[in-house]
């Protein structure tokens, strides 16, 4: 038999599949969970506490998906797989994803630290293979920040940034930046040039300069 807390969490997750967290009322949650209004405050303190708890449940699903990603002999290829699975989760759970990665108020979900920990484990494999240019912590922050940024742009402006080609261009540029991998194709698209510039600015290793701007202009003209 499920508890009141479990029913409230499940009801909120179901409503998040249909609409944004800001549009969900505590009344709707209580009606679906079949509990009285004070139960939310008894279990979670307030609505923000409930949303933080739901975000942590979302992170449990997110991290379970991450752990199912296969490991290969190529740790850099595994980073790309992890990026793509992150994007797939965001596209399949848009409202939950926004709640997880754009929290407002306190408390904030704490499981993002575990997500960063899994990424650091993957980067340690790259370092052990001699394929890591930056310190693992900085590399992990750079990749996760770029990954989340791409997902939020895809969700918020799908008509402009919804193409998986954009995600893959930024993915390859950022991962190449932190691992030192050379791109096989010397024909650099405008999106890739821009992604490289952003990655350089993000890590502090290569700020945007006039040469980069000229390179972007040439890429746009081809």
pLDDT of residue 220: 45
pTM above 0.85, yes or no: no
Measured between its terminal Cα atoms, the distance across the chain in Å is: 63
Residue length, the chain? 222
Structural contact between residues 103 and 55, judged by C-beta atoms closer than 8 angstroms: yes
Q: Is residue 107 reached through a cis peptide bond, with omega within 30 degrees of 0 on the bond before it?
A: yes
Residue 212, pLDDT above cutoff 80: no
99 compared with 103, residue with greater pLDDT: 99
Confidence of residue 167 (pLDDT cuts 50, 70, 90): very high
Burial of 110 (0-12, 13-18, 19+ CB in 10 A): exposed
Residue 211, pLDDT above cutoff 60: no
Q: Is residue 62 reached through a cis peptide bond, with omega within 30 degrees of 0 on the bond before it?
A: no
Structural contact between residues 76 and 130, judged by C-beta atoms closer than 8 angstroms: no
pLDDT of residue 176: 95
List all residues 6 or more positions away from 22 whose beta carbon is below 8 Å from its beta carbon: none
Q: Which two tokens stand for residue 1?
A: 């038999």
3-state class (DSSP) for residue 41: helix
The fraction of the chain above a pLDDT of 70, given in percent, is: 82
Angle between helices 4-16 and 26-33 (to 10 degrees): 120
pLDDT in tens, 9-42: 999 999 999 999 988 999 999 999 999 988 999 9
List all residues 6 or more positions away from 31 whose beta carbon is below 8 Å from its beta carbon: none
Maximum average pLDDT range among 4-8, 20-24, 102-106: 4-8
| Mean pLDDT, rounded, for 164-190 | 78
Residue 199, pLDDT above cutoff 60: no
DSSP string for residues in 27-39: HHHHHHHT--THH
Residue 189, pLDDT above cutoff 90: no
The fraction of the chain above a pLDDT of 90, given in percent, is: 66
pLDDT in tens, 63-96: 999 999 999 999 999 999 999 999 999 999 999 9
Residue 222, pLDDT above cutoff 70: no
Residue 97: closest CA among 57, 137, 42: 57
| Mean pLDDT, rounded, for 111-127 | 92
| Mean pLDDT, rounded, for 45-67 | 92
| Mean pLDDT, rounded, for 180-195 | 54
pLDDT of residue 186: 41
């Amino acid at each position: 038999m499920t508890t009141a807390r479990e029913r409230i969490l499940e009801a909120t997750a179901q409503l998040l599949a249909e609409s944004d967290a800001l549009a969900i009322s505590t009344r709707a949650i209580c009606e679906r969970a079949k509990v009285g209004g004070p139960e939310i405050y008894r279990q979670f303190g307030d609505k923000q506490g409930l949303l933080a708890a739901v975000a942590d449940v979302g992170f449990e699903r997110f991290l379970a998906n991450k752990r199912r990603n296969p490991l290969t002999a190529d740790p850099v290829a595994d980073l790309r797989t992890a990026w793509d699975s992150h994007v797939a989760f965001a596209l399949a759970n848009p409202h939950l994803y926004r709640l997880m990665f754009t929290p407002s108020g306190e408390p904030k979900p704490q499981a993002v630290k575990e997500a960063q920990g899994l990424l650091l484990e993957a980067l340690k494999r790259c370092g052990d293979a001699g394929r890591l240019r930056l310190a693992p912590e900085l590399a992990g922050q750079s990749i996760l920040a770029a990954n989340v940024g791409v997902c939020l742009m895809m969700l918020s402006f799908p008509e402009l940034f919804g193409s998986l080609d954009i995600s893959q261009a930024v993915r390859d540029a950022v991962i190449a930046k932190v691992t030192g991998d050379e791109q096989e194709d010397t024909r650099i698209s405008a999106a890739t040039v821009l992604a490289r510039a952003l990655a350089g600015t993000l890590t502090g290793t290569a700020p945007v300069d006039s040469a980069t701007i000229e390179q972007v202009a040439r890429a746009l003209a081809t």
